[in-house]
Structure 1
Amino acid sequence: MDAHLPSHHELLSQGPQLQLPPPSERRELRELWGAKLEEVAKALKVDPATMSAWEAGQHTADAAGTYSYLRLLNAFRDQLPTGHEPDWAALRTTPTPPAPAAAIPAQATAEHTAAKPARRGASWTQDEKDYLRAAFRDGTAVPELAVSLGRSERSVRWTLYHLRLIPFPADDVPDPRPKAEKPKAYTVEDKRKTHPNAYAPWSTEDDKLLAERCAQGVPLDGLSREFGRNKGGIAARLKKINAVGPAAKEAREYGEDDHDVAL
């Protein structure tokens, strides 16, 4: 084995390289699937605002969130129908006779027509697919097929498409919904009017000086003024570098509301 090539153990230890599709494709996959942004957010256990930022590419999720989001998008892509030619050979074969009457729902009356489809949401059985194929080839219209099978017309059209009997039902794909632009609550320039170093990265020297000033007893608001950052940013940094002093105690009680920290 080539000494320059990693062993399979080394390859496995590297972990997968997670790469989300472009933001436009993320939104397109969700909308083709017919899912609302809030539904995807709930499935991934994040709030809608975070989900909106992930989808728009304005914020990157952590490794666990990226992995879950990528798996969901791949599932959408894999299960969405793709265009292809009909199976002409299958169309030329002798139509399969309809399944026995006991296996096929009876023709619905006018009263049943207005009711909710009896088989709505249930998986299609092979007998139902065989009946659908034969009846469609015999010229039965989609509304009549939907009534006889207790299905919605949309379900019948998609099943006919999967059986390669009709083209892609593009009219059943929802139109893209325009996303309202959400104005930013603040800007970096606004923050730096009161805290000049807001959003600036912390250097090793900054961390060392912060630890020293904390140990000397400077309180949290004093460190905020001295380092030009808000109290939330100072508190988060004190906890990160395990500083010791009165301000460090304040930081532990301050909370996690730190909006201008570069950790």
Structure 2
Amino acid sequence: MDSPSTAQDDLLKRGPRPPEDLLPPPAERQCLRERWGATIEEVADALNAEPETMAAWEAGQHTADPADTYAYLRLLNAFRDQLPTVHEPDWAALRKRPTPSASAACAPAIPAQKTAGRAKAKPARRGALWTQEEKDYLRAGFLDGTTVLELAESLERSEKSVRWMLHHLHLIPFPADDVPTPRVKPERPKAYTVEEKRMVHPNAYAPWSTEEEQLLAERCTQGASLADLSREFGRNQGGIASRLIKIDAVGPAAGEAWEYGGDEPTLPFDTDSP
């Protein structure tokens, strides 16, 4: 029979058993990952899990043993603790109430395109890099009470793109409703391996180095497109887009990244993408 001290040591080695509600709600898990700029694949790699399993776990449709659960909790807490914080004014108090003439309060730098009776067309500037003039106009118009729809029409952009830029300018909270719900499929044998993925994208799932991020920002500034960067860095366009947003890159590909938004080509933020 084991001695009391041995039994105590064995019990302590097993670690605490996490309660069912230890992890934050699924929406907060996804929000923290998106704000950090990490893909499902990157989080899965960090936790030694499959991407499909990780997507189900983030959506609250998967449970794990105590050790893995605490590892996931530590990662989420690290995201929360290290994300930059900024002073947020009371935008609700500063913003004027929308009025029928609010959109005329500040003259738009880009003329409005929509006319009565015309079928809704795709935004002409979808995917274009935001200029400082556009950002200044967006901020001024929003604070003056102009609606998101009116701002989107005058800037020739989608409403989702306008909401993401308003969040980027710290004017509205994180637009969680614009983030697509992960498509969780039933457990089934993997259709591919990492090695097979790397036959198309040689650096798929590989961590980014500081040198690679610097080169990515430089190539973006030089005018490379999202497709160009995908070929050059051996990664899919979703991973390139997430990294461009995370490092706050400047260039045409960065504009594409804001519209692309997702980690996979089938899950763009902007539903008017082809």
TM-score (norm 1): 0.36
Name the structure, 1 or 2, with higher relative contact order (CA <8 Å, separation 6+): 2
Q: Which has the larger radius of gyration?
A: 1
